[in-house]
């Protein structure tokens, strides 16, 4: 398998993880609307999480290209914590 991948010009590299639900136009609209809010009305949340599903951090891709994984933004194997400031 390793030699076949090498012949194809694919190399092992770290994956870039991204959510498939991400919509840049909606994010830009939200940022514009949020900039109009009074700062006294804002509450900031700190989110952290632990992935217990142990998703592999590396994959193979053609040389010069990034290895990507697209999937759901919330992984059922992920434990999320939310803290308000």
Could you tell me which residue, 70 or 6, shows the higher pLDDT?
Answer: 6
Per-residue pLDDT of 11-67, as tens digits, reads: 887 777 777 778 889 999 999 999 999 988 888 877 776 666 666 777 777 888 877
Nearest Cα to Cα of residue 60 among 17, 18, 15: 15
pLDDT at position 4 is: 87
User: Position of tokens 């053609």?
Assistant: 62
- The pTM assigned to this predicted structure is 0.36
What is the C-alpha separation between 59 and 61, in angstroms, rounded?
Answer: 7
Residue 51 confidence (pLDDT)? 61
Q: How do the domains of the chain map onto residue ranges?
A: 2-84
Alpha-carbon distance values, 46 to 43, 49, 56, 59, 79 (Å): 10, 10, 26, 30, 14
Q: Which residues contact 12 (CB under 8 A, 6 or more apart)?
A: 58, 59, 60
């Amino acid at each position: 398998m390793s030699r076949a991948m090498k012949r194809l010009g694919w190399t092992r590299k770290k994956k870039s993880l991204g959510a498939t639900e991400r919509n840049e136009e909606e994010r830009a609209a939200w940022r514009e609307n949020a900039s109009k809010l009074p700062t006294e009305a804002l509450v900031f949340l700190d989110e952290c999480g632990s992935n217990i599903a142990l998703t592999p951090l590396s994959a193979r891709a053609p040389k010069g290209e990034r290895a990507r994984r697209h999937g759901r933004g919330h992984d059922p194997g992920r434990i999320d914590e939310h803290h308000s400031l």
